[in-house]
Structure formats: C-alpha cells, structure tokens
Amino acid sequence: MKITKISQQLKRPDRYSVFVDEKYSFSLSEGALLNSGIASGRELTANEVNDFKQLSQDDKIYGQALRYIAMRSHTTWEMQQYLERKAAPPALIEQILSKLTDIGLLDDYKYAASFARDRRLLRSSSRRKIIAELKKKRVADGAIEAALGEEGDEERTALVAMIERKRRQTKYQDDTKLMQYLARQGYGYGDIKSALSGSNEDY
C-alpha cells in the first residue's frame, strides 16, 4: 500500500486529503500532517493505514475543540462536556484538555478573572451571583477567590451603578419592584436597603 497523493482540500484548506493506492483514505490537519512525517511515495502496512485513520478522527475532534474555544473562552469543564457530546473517548478528552491547557487556551483562573470583570462592568452583577455562575461552570473555589479577591467597596459600587441604571426605567421608580430585581441579581436585603437609601437622597 502506497501513498500516491496528498492534496489540500478546497472546502477545508486547513486539512489535507491523503490518497492510498489512488483512492482517498483519510485527512489530516496541516500540523498533524507535518508531525506524522508521511509523504507521497511512502509505503504503508494495513495496520499503519488504520492507525492514520484513527489519527485522522482524533485530529478532527481536536480541530473542533479549537474552533469551539475560538468562538469564546470556555472553562475546562465546558470543554470536557463539549468533547463528551462529540463522543470523544476519555483518553482523547484528557489528551486534548491537557494540550489546550499547555498552550494557554484553557485556564480557569484567567477565565474566572475575565468573567468576573465583565459581569461587574457590563451587568453590575453581585458577588454572590458571579460566584453562583462560576460554580455552575465548575470553576474551582481557588480560581473564584483569586478572581474576586476581597469584597471591599466593589460590591456596593456595582449595586449603586445598577440602581442608577435601572432608575432610568419607569417601572423601577417603584422601590419594591427595584428591590425584587436586585434580589434576583444576588444582592442581600440589607445592602439593597442601604444603597437605595443613598440613592433616594439624590432624587
């Protein structure tokens, strides 16, 4: 059995089709192709062809994982769930998770820090709600604590900012409705009352 042609795919230029004895046999990404060391004219045994076909399948799943994380950042758990949905075997999942971690594409500490920062700036989310959301994504307690640090004045600043933003809407001129909304965002009753008292002084 001989590799008779290796050609770049038209629809997927990041992958190369490998032909054995003039017939399509499998495809590999550019990186996997270079690492494999195969070239036109190389003789292969039937077992080697089967091994390359398995490598092709594993390589496709890895490519899918790269595209998935390129859409937006994900936690390690989210990536694991994605790979399980793709029916990747456990050993391959561990291999891909390790590889993505090594090259810096999976980092729950960085993810938690970015997530907390965005929630604070864009949604004025409470510390309690941010923690709950990160726990749903299976982020470790250490990463969550590192991301949020000491509570300090950030919680009240976020709460006051949310009150000021919601006050611009007619339905939230009513304190009861506003308090109910803020409670759903994870803020404590005492903190809400205190922040509203300060806010009402401005009206």
Domain stop point among 45, 80, 102: 102
Domain stop point among 84, 102, 120: 102
Same structural domain for residues 92 and 116?
no
Q: Are 82 and 65 in contact (CB under 8 A)?
A: yes
Same structural domain for residues 116 and 32?
no
Per-residue pLDDT of the chain (203 residues; tens, 9 = 90+): 899 999 999 988 889 999 999 999 999 998 899 888 888 999 999 999 999 999 999 999 999 999 999 999 999 999 999 999 999 999 999 999 999 999 999 999 999 999 988 887 766 677 888 888 999 999 999 999 888 875 555 667 777 777 887 788 887 877 788 888 888 777 777 778 777 776 544 43
Same structural domain for residues 18 and 90?
yes
Which residue segment(s) compose the domain that 14 sits in? 3-102
Nearest CA to 183 out of 118, 135, 117, 125 is that of 125
CATH number of the domain within which 62 lies: 1.10.10.10
Same structural domain for residues 90 and 76?
yes
What is this structure's pTM?
Answer: 0.70
CA angle, residues 144, 150, 152, in degrees to nearest 5? 135
Cα gap 82→187, rounded to integer Å: 32
Which residues are CB-neighbours of 83 under 8 A, at least 6 positions away?
61, 65, 92, 93, 96, 97
Domain stop point among 102, 135, 158: 102
Domain count across the chain: 2
Same structural domain for residues 35 and 112?
no
Same structural domain for residues 17 and 64?
yes
Question: How far does Cα 28 stand from its chain's mean position?
Answer: 25
Same structural domain for residues 65 and 139?
no
Please name the amino acid found at residue 23: K
What angle do the packed helices 154-166 and 189-200 form, to 10 degrees?
60
